[in-house]
Structure 1
Amino acid sequence: MSLIPELTHNSFASNGIILTWNYITTAQNYKIYRMIYSDGTTIPTPQESDLLVTLHGGIIKYIDKTVTTEQLYIYFIRSITNNTENNLSSGTIANWCPPIVICKTTNLIKNTGTLNNNSNMSGRMRYAKKIAGNLKSSFR
């Protein structure tokens, strides 16, 4: 069993970036590191000054609420077992994109898709338009 957690994220939460990872039975704690990342630059190795939070070993989810829209961040996580800090996970690059909700008297657009690693939209967009008093919607 690997002692290096596999970190994933969801950038579309309305309250921040949601980080999740696999449960490691022997983990006493997890350390999550965050750094600002510039697209195309070499991925740096986090230092203790980049420590975002230390969490109890039973926790497998964290919401980073101290993020800025359209800022790229890179996250790392490591488990601590038997009072030993294990190797870092691979870096996970994320930027916070809260759900888009535009409500006007005639149009409603809500983002129900996700961004893939190349920042291209995948999934679908839900369009609804009020036509002659009736609400028409479609998925594209």
Structure 2
Amino acid sequence: LCVNMTNEKIHQYINEVLFLQEQAECVQEGVAMETVYSPGNHTAVLDFFFQKPLGFLSMLDEESQSIWSVEQGLSKRIQSYLDTSDTNTVYSSTKDGNGNLAPKDLGSTFTVMHYAGRVTYEIAGAIEKNKDSLSQNLIFVMK
């Protein structure tokens, strides 16, 4: 998950630098362009992960800090976000990419259409993994 989020961020940055800045330079120099680059819809993917306070990372942090956190709470919050979202780049895995109902045995999952392809993520264990604390040795070294 973290690798894919990072790749999305890098992909967005490279596209902005390589395409948008070069496009602006061509316009400034009066060079005619047949094709105009637009960033596309991958900002919806980045918003899903990084937006505050509604993004996945914010929801995961809030649920991890709660004393009574359960994965069903995180799952419901993600489902609520996806139900109100008007994008098809991130969707509940209860539906496939075409909006059809998916098999019931998928459990708590969501699917993201990354620029490189579709990935389905499981929510199971996410809160516990996010609660990992630093070892006392590392805390001592950092002081």
Give the alignment's TM-score, normalised by structure 1: 0.27
Higher strand proportion (structure 1 or 2): 1
Higher relative contact order (CA 8 A, sep 6+): 1
